[in-house]
Structure 1
Amino acid sequence: MARIAFAAGFGTALEFYDFAIYGTAAALVFNQVFFVTGDAWFGTFISLATFAIGFLMAPLGAVLFGWLGDRRGRRYSLVLSFSAMGLSTVAMGLLPSYAVVGALAPITLIALRMVHGLARGGENVGAAVFATEHAPEHRRGLYGSFVAMGSPIGAMMANGAFALVLLMPEDTVVTWGWRLPFLVGGVVLVVGLWVRRNVAETPEFQEMAAQAAAVADRAPAPLPLAQVLRTNGRTVLLAAGVNIGLTASTFALTTFMLSYATAAAPEGLGLPRGPVVLVSLLGLACHALMNVASAALSDRLGRRPVMMFGAALSVPAALAVFPLSGQGTVGSVALAVVLGFSATGVLFGPLYCFFAELFPREQRQSGAGLAYHLGGVLGGGISPLVANRIISGTGDAWNVGYYLAGLLVVSLLCLLALPETAPVRRTRPTVPSKDGAPV
C-alpha cells in the first residue's frame, strides 16, 4: 500500500510540476517572450489567459481519460495522460520565441497548452481514484491525500526550479533560462513512468471488468459519461461548485500572487522575483501539511465536517490575504500566502477521496473527473485573469479578496447540499469481562 500511495502521489506531483511551470512562466516571463505588447500588465493578462486554456480543456480530458479509466483501466489511463503531459512540456521548452518566428510562437504554445489541459483532465482525479480503490476502507481519506499533496509539491518543484533560474542575469532568464524547467519535464516523464511501472490495476476495477466481461454478450456497456449525467448530474454540479472556491483561491495564490507581487506599481508591489518565489514555496509547504492532516482527520470525523470547516476558515483568510500583502514587503506577502494556503489546505485534503466516493465505481473516474475540472474552469482557470482585471479596473487589490471569498461561500453551500461519503465509524466492540458482563 505504501508503494501504491507513493506511486500515485509522486506521479501526480511530477505531473503537476509540468502543469504548474507554465503558470509560473506566464506570471514572470511569457509577457516578454511570447506575448509582447506595449503594456507589460496587459501582456501578463494575455499570458494568464493562455494559462486558463489548460483549465478549459481539462473537462474534455476528464471525459476522454475518464472513459478510458472506467473501461480500459485506471492504470492504462494514467500512463497515457502522464505521457501526453510530459511530451508537451518538453516541446514548450524547445519553442522559438515571438522575436524569432512571430505569431507562430504563441499559437504553437497555446496548442501545446491545450494538450496540457487534456492530460491534466485525466491525471489528478485518475490518480486519486487509483489510490482510493487500492486503500483500506478506513484509510481512504489518508491515501487520497497523497494525491492531493502532489499538487502543492509539484507547484513547489516548479517554483523551486524557477527560483534557481532567477539567480541568472535578467537577460539570460528571458533569452533561454526560462526553458530549463520545461526541458527538465523530459526527465520528469521518465521518472514518473518508472515509478508507476510495476503498480497493479486496482482490485475494484479488476472485479468490475470481470463482471462486465460476464455480461458482455447480453448488452453493450453504456458510456460512463452518459451514465453520470443521467443518474448523477446533480452530484456533478454540486461537486463542481465545491471546487470553484477552492481552485480560485489556490491558483490566485500560486499564479496571480507572483505577478501581483513582482509587477511594477501602480498595479503591483514591485518586489524582487526571487524572494517572492521562495515565499510561495513556504506557503505551498503549509498547504501540503494541512492536506495530510485534514484528510487523516476525515477518516475519523467524516469528509463533510472537515471540508466545511476548511471552507469556512478560507473565507476570512481570503479577505485578509490582499490587505496583508498590500503592505508591500516580502514579509507581509509571506504571511498572506501562508494564511491563505493553510486554510485552503484543510478544504483540499479530503477532496479527491470525497469526489471519488460520491460516484459508483462504474462511473467513478468519469464522474469525479468531470466534476473536479468543471469547477476548476470556473475557479482556478479564470481567477488569475479576473484578479488581474479587478486591479486594472478598480486599482484596489482588496476587491480580489471579496471575489475569492464569494466563491468560497459557494463551495461551502455546495458542501452542505452533498451527502457524507466516509464509511460510518464503527463503534468499539464490547469485550466480555470475567463475569460475563460486557465492558
Structure 2
Amino acid sequence: MAHSPGSAGAGAPDAGTPPRPPGLYKAFAASLTGTALEWYDFAVYSAAAAVVFPIIFFPASDPLTGTILAFSTYAVGYISRPVGGIVFGRLGDRIGRKKILVITLMIIGIATVLIGVLPGYASIGIAAPIILVLLRFAQGVGVGGEWGGAVLLSSEYGDPKKRGFWASAAQVGPPAGNLLANGALALLTVLLSEEQFLDFGWRIAFLASALLVGFGLWIRLRLEDTPIFKAIEAHGERPAAPIKEVFANELRPLIAAILSRVGPDVLYALFTVFTLTYGIQVLGFERNEVLTAVLIGSGFQLFLIPLAGAVSDRVNRRLVYGIAAILGALWTFTFFALLDGDNQLLLIIGIVLGLACHSFMYGPQAAFIVEQFSPRLRATGSSLAYTFAGVIGGAIAPLMFTVLLSNFDSWVPVAVYVAVAGIVTLIGLSLGRNPHATEDDEYRLLLEGSKV
C-alpha cells in the first residue's frame, strides 16, 4: 500500500516545517491572472449581451427576444462549467496542477478572442449565433477547470498555516476582472461614438483579453508544478479514478464545499448584478451612478479579500466565514430598507458594506474548500464543488431575484432568498472540517527527503 502522509496524525514526529519553495509569488500572480481573465470576460460579456449581441447576432427577432437569446448564451457559460470541473479537476490530480492551468487559460483566452473576431448575423447568417454559443460553451469549460487548479497553485506553494492568504489569490480575480473590464468599456465609450462602439469597439474589449492570456501563460510556463503534487507523483500516490474516489470516500467534504459556496455566490450576484437592475428601474438612479457604486465596492474588495483570508489563518476559518454569512444576510435587509433613489452616497456605502461581507466569506472560501479534501484528491474535489455550486448559486440568482421582484413587487422576498442562501452556507460550514496543515507539511518533507 502506498505511503499516505495524511495518516501520520498528530502523533507523528515533528520534523520541522520545510522551507518556502521558490516561485511562491509567481504562483500567486499566476493564480490571480487566470481568475481575473475569467471575470474580465464575465463583465465584458454581460455588457455586450445587453447592448451589442441582440443587434449583431440576433437581429431577426424582436428586440426583447434578441436580448433574451443573448443572455441565454451567457447562461451557457455557467451550464458548461461542470464539464470543465469534471474533466480538468480529474486531470489536475492525474497529470498535475500546472499543466491543466496552461490548458484552461488557453481555452478561455482563445474562445474570448474568437468572439472578438466572430462575423455577425449579417455576414454569415445563422452560423453566427451558433458559433457564439459554442465559443461561450468553451469558455465555460475552461473556467470550470481553471478555479480548482488556480487555488491549488498558490495554496500548495505557500505555507499551509497561511493558506487563507495564499489561496485568496484566485478570489481577488472577480473584483480585479470587473475593474479591468469596466475600465476598458469606459475608455472605449469615451473614445468612440455609439455607432463606432457597435461597429468595432466592442470587439476591442474582447481582443484585449489576449494581453491577460499572454501574461498568464508567461508566468505559468515558467513555474514548476506544486511541491505537493510533485511529492504525490514521486511516491506513486496519484489516484487512478479521482472522481470515483471523491464520491466514494469524500462525499461529505464535497457536500460541505458545495453548500459553503452558495451564500457568497448569491450575495455577490445581488450587489454586483441585481443592484444595477433594481437601482435603475425601481429606484430611479442613473446607470453610471449604480455602476460607480459597484466599482468602488470592487476596489475595496481588492484589499479586503486577501485581508479576510489572512484573518482566517489567525482565527478559526469556519467562524470567520460563518459570521460573514450571517452579517451578509442581515445587511441585505438593512440595505433595501434604507435605500432610496435620492442618495447616491447611501447607495455606495450600502454596496461597499455588502461586498465587504462577501469578502469575508470569499477570502477564506478557497482555503476552506481545499482543506476539505485529501491532497491527492484536491483538484477533483475543489473543481467539482466550485462548478456545481456555481450552477445552483450564482447562475440562477439574478434570474430568481428578477422573478421574485416581478411577482411580489417587493424587495423582501429577494432579501429572504439571500438569507436562505446564507443558511445553506452555514450548513455547509457545519459539515466541514478545520484545517489539517500537517498533511501538506508531511508531503513537503517527503519531497525534500527524496531530493537528498
Same-fold status (TM-score > 0.5): yes
Deviations 1:240-291 (A, max 9, x none): 11111211221333333334445xx4xx555444443332211112223221
Identity rate, percent: 33
1:99 Cα deviation (Å)?
4.9
Corresponding residue number in structure 1 for 2:261: 243
In the TM superposition, 1:250-265 aligns within 5 A as 250-262=268-280, 265=281
Give the alignment partner of residue 384 of structure 1, picking from 382, 398, 408. 398
C-alpha distance in structure 2 between counterparts of 1:30 and 1:403, whole Å? 30
Corresponding residue number in structure 1 for 2:150: 127
C-alpha distance in structure 1 between counterparts of 2:327 and 2:98, whole Å? 36
Q: Is the 8 A contact 2:33 2:212 kept in 1?
A: no
Question: 2:229 is paired with a residue of what secondary structure?
Answer: helix
C-alpha distance in structure 2 between counterparts of 1:35 and 1:147, whole Å? 35
The AA in structure 1 aligned to 2:312 is: S
C-alpha distance in structure 2 between counterparts of 1:398 and 1:174, whole Å? 38
Structure-2 change in CA distance of 1:418 and 1:356 (3 Å)? same
Q: Is the 8 A contact 2:279 2:341 kept in 1?
A: no
1:50 Cα deviation (Å)?
2.6
Give the alignment partner of residue 339 of structure 1, picking from 353, 356, 359. 353
C-alpha distance in structure 1 between counterparts of 2:169 and 2:307, whole Å? 11
The AA in structure 1 aligned to 2:231 is: E
Structure-2 change in CA distance of 1:13 and 1:73 (3 Å)? same
The AA in structure 2 aligned to 1:304 is: R
The AA in structure 2 aligned to 1:79 is: V
C-alpha distance in structure 2 between counterparts of 1:361 and 1:204, whole Å? 7
C-alpha distance in structure 1 between counterparts of 2:339 and 2:70, whole Å? 23
Matched, 1:16 2:39: yes
In the TM superposition, 1:1-12 aligns within 5 A as 1-12=24-35
In the TM superposition, 1:325-336 aligns within 5 A as 326-327=340-341, 330-336=344-350
Corresponding residue number in structure 2 for 1:436: none
1:367 Cα deviation (Å)?
0.3
Corresponding residue number in structure 1 for 2:99: 76
Q: Is the 8 A contact 1:159 1:280 kept in 2?
A: no
1:295 Cα deviation (Å)?
0.6
Give the alignment partner of residue 202 of structure 1, picking from 202, 216, 226. 226
C-alpha distance in structure 2 between counterparts of 1:317 and 1:258, whole Å? 18
Compare 332-341 and 309-318 and name the one that shifted more: 332-341
C-alpha distance in structure 2 between counterparts of 1:163 and 1:311, whole Å? 33
Q: Is the 8 A contact 1:45 1:385 kept in 2?
A: no
C-alpha distance in structure 1 between counterparts of 2:249 and 2:354, whole Å? 36
The AA in structure 1 aligned to 2:76 is: I
Matched, 1:142 2:165: yes
Equivalent pairs, count: 413
Compare 382-391 and 125-134 and name the one that shifted more: 382-391
In the TM superposition, 1:363-374 aligns within 5 A as 363-374=377-388
1:236 Cα deviation (Å)?
1.2
C-alpha distance in structure 1 between counterparts of 2:132 and 2:342, whole Å? 33
Structure-2 change in CA distance of 1:367 and 1:315 (3 Å)? same
The AA in structure 2 aligned to 1:228 is: V
In the TM superposition, 1:40-119 aligns within 5 A as 40=64, 44-119=67-142
1:156 Cα deviation (Å)?
1.6
In the TM superposition, 1:417-428 aligns within 5 A as 417-421=431-435, 423=437
The TM-score, its normalising length taken from structure 1, stands at: 0.86
1:184 Cα deviation (Å)?
0.5
Which blocks of at least 5 consecutive residues in structure 1 are unaligned? 425-439
1:5 Cα deviation (Å)?
1.6
In the TM superposition, 1:295-306 aligns within 5 A as 295-306=309-320
Backbone CA RMSD of aligned residues: 2.4
Q: Is the 8 A contact 1:160 1:277 kept in 2?
A: no
C-alpha distance in structure 1 between counterparts of 2:216 and 2:328, whole Å? 33
C-alpha distance in structure 2 between counterparts of 1:46 and 1:405, whole Å? 30
Compare 53-62 and 325-334 and name the one that shifted more: 325-334
The AA in structure 2 aligned to 1:415 is: L
Q: Is the 8 A contact 1:290 1:346 kept in 2?
A: yes
Structure-2 change in CA distance of 1:406 and 1:309 (3 Å)? same
Question: 1:212 is paired with a residue of what secondary structure?
Answer: coil
Q: Is the 8 A contact 1:12 1:150 kept in 2?
A: yes
The AA in structure 2 aligned to 1:276 is: V
Corresponding residue number in structure 2 for 1:229: 247
Structure-2 change in CA distance of 1:175 and 1:335 (3 Å)? farther
Q: Is the 8 A contact 1:27 1:256 kept in 2?
A: no
Compare 399-408 and 191-200 and name the one that shifted more: 399-408
In the TM superposition, 1:155-170 aligns within 5 A as 155-167=178-190, 168-170=192-194
Matched, 1:290 2:322: no
C-alpha distance in structure 1 between counterparts of 2:133 and 2:342, whole Å? 33
1:28 Cα deviation (Å)?
4.8
Q: Is the 8 A contact 1:26 1:51 kept in 2?
A: yes
Corresponding residue number in structure 2 for 1:186: 210
The AA in structure 2 aligned to 1:395 is: D
1:345 Cα deviation (Å)?
0.6
Structure-2 change in CA distance of 1:104 and 1:275 (3 Å)? farther
C-alpha distance in structure 1 between counterparts of 2:131 and 2:283, whole Å? 32
Q: Is the 8 A contact 1:140 1:299 kept in 2?
A: yes
Corresponding residue number in structure 1 for 2:327: 313
Structure-2 change in CA distance of 1:149 and 1:349 (3 Å)? same
Corresponding residue number in structure 2 for 1:26: 49
1:422 Cα deviation (Å)?
5.5
C-alpha distance in structure 1 between counterparts of 2:279 and 2:126, whole Å? 29
1:49 Cα deviation (Å)?
3.3
C-alpha distance in structure 1 between counterparts of 2:71 and 2:342, whole Å? 23
Question: 2:410 is paired with a residue of what secondary structure?
Answer: coil
Corresponding residue number in structure 1 for 2:9: none
The AA in structure 2 aligned to 1:257 is: T
